[in-house]
Structure 1
Amino acid sequence: MPPTGDQPVPRAFQLWKNFALHSPWFPIARIINTGSFRTLGPDERRAYDAPFPGKKYKAGARAFPKLVPVKPDDPASEANRAAWKVLEQWQKPFLTTFSNGDPITRGGDKYVQDLVPGAKGQPHVTLTGGHFLQEDSPVQFANAVNGLIRQMDGG
């Protein structure tokens, strides 16, 4: 659900954005672990940290929250409004797979389902987990996506 800056931003996102932009410490694996219900193992943490061997490699991850519009006149607001205009006309199958425990996106599934015509009648799922569903409900998430693909392939 592309934010436009026209709606209130959850406090959790404001905190995340400030942390990403200003904290001298930016531990990728710990961030993933904190945003998940389950605890990552040592190998998983190393795998998440591997692409970010130094500070300069984290620049994109740090900058991403700043790109999310929080005010109507933010640079990405217009592009996201244009995206919503397309989504409000979208007739192809559109599946939402949200989590029950993400303080930033929780509840957004109903908003999207109401606005996107292709979402009507789809087997939407709310999975157990935090922000990173691939860690908390990987099988259920994959099954939902694979089911939509099968549906679109006619099988």
Structure 2
Amino acid sequence: MKVLRTPDAAFADLTDYPFAPHYLEVEVPSAPPMRLHYLDEGPRHAAPILLLHGEPTWSYLYRKFVPPLAAAGHRVLAPDLIGFGKSDKPAEGADYSYERHVAWMSDWLTKLDLRDITLFCQDWGGLIGLRLVAAFPDRFARLVISNTYLPEGESIGSGFDAWRTFSQATPEFKTGRIVDGGCVRGLSSSEVAAYDAPFPDENYQAGARQFPVLVPVTPEHASVAENQAAWAVLESFTKPVVTCFGEQDKVLGHLDAEIQRRIPGAKGQPHCRIEASHFCQEDQPERLVDLILKFIAAQEP
């Protein structure tokens, strides 16, 4: 397996991203060890808030979340999935699988021995994060779920189908412009450049290209059985769960009702829809940070 590592110089002078890098080697069967990058801010003794990004972003997506959450006394962790950000990037699409990503993140989570976690997850951050919750339910205290879902072999709508088709057909995968297109507000040129930074050329984009075709939206997809098993756990998960979806997301914005219906911990919680598109972290960071802090405080003694 050929593995690429984006040069550090590609990340010089990023807008609003002053954070110290942290790295951990993650290991799974049938793959070489991978260096996974993550942010780790705030007091180490505090209960962690875990921020999981999706496709095709990286921890830069949470640059406006980390300082206020850490200032409020929380330990805040934001990893880059393998294939994204400052983490290692297998060079071939065939090197990526849903199960391998769950295994990489499981290894990271257990090596850090994170417990009493508040999870915020969006897009593939939910596809992977909800699998982590199902695998390690005792490690999670509460969930904040935004613009994501855990499909188990069923269609999740024409918006996703159009995105998947585009992702495979477009001659150039312009990451920064794709993220910009998934926001209500327009990103600045420096923000667009920051989302392009992990991918110096198309050789680094195998994961970004592959992720859309890994989502199990037909019975023939891999990981259908594993997601069904995960739902069996989630449908018994009674710890607090709140959804906050961007109402202008044409890809996944309609799926919050299913999460609320299926996870018992979502009953009676202050769910909301906000003026945002798919990348709600870019459109409404202050609103989401406030929601996270109030949701945690509501369960504190």
Structure 2 residue corresponding to 1:20, chosen from 155, 160, 167: 167
- Deviation of the 1:97 alpha carbon: 1.2
Amino acid at match of 1:35: G
Under a length normalisation based on structure 2, what TM-score does the superposition of the two structures give? 0.49
Query: Is structure 2 residue 217 aligned with structure 1 residue 58?
Result: no
- Deviation of the 1:121 alpha carbon: 1.3
Three-state SS of the structure 2 residue aligned to 1:95 is strand
Higher mean alpha-carbon deviation, 27-36 vs 11-20, is at 11-20
Under a length normalisation based on structure 1, what TM-score does the superposition of the two structures give? 0.92
Structure 2 residue corresponding to 1:102, chosen from 243, 249, 255: 249
Contact 2:151 2:215 in 1 (8 A): yes
- Deviation of the 1:20 alpha carbon: 1.3
In structure 2, what is the equivalent of residue 5 of structure 1? Answer: 153
- Stretches of structure 2 lacking an aligned partner (at least 5 in a row): 1-148
Higher mean alpha-carbon deviation, 88-97 vs 18-27, is at 18-27
Name the CA distance, whole Å, in 2 between partners of 1:77 and 1:88. 16
Query: Is structure 2 residue 215 aligned with structure 1 residue 33?
Result: no
Three-state SS of the structure 2 residue aligned to 1:96 is strand
In structure 1, what is the equivalent of residue 192 of structure 2? Answer: 45
Q: Which ranges of 4 or more aligned residues in structure 1 deviate by more than 4 Å?
A: none
Query: Is structure 2 residue 226 aligned with structure 1 residue 79?
Result: yes
CA deviation profile, 1:42-94 (whole Å, cap 9, x unmatched): 11111111111110111111111111012123102111111111111000001
Structure 2 residue corresponding to 1:134, chosen from 269, 281, 289: 281
- Deviation of the 1:151 alpha carbon: 2.8
Query: Is structure 2 residue 235 aligned with structure 1 residue 88?
Result: yes
The structure with the greater share of residues assigned to strand is: 2
Contact 2:160 2:252 in 1 (8 A): no
Amino acid at match of 1:44: E
Name the CA distance, whole Å, in 2 between partners of 1:14 and 1:52. 24
Contact 1:98 1:106 in 2 (8 A): yes
- Deviation of the 1:11 alpha carbon: 1.4
- Deviation of the 1:22 alpha carbon: 2.6
- Stretches of structure 1 lacking an aligned partner (at least 5 in a row): none
In structure 2, what is the equivalent of residue 124 of structure 1? Answer: 271
**Aligned residue pair count:** 153
The structure with the greater share of residues assigned to helix is: 1
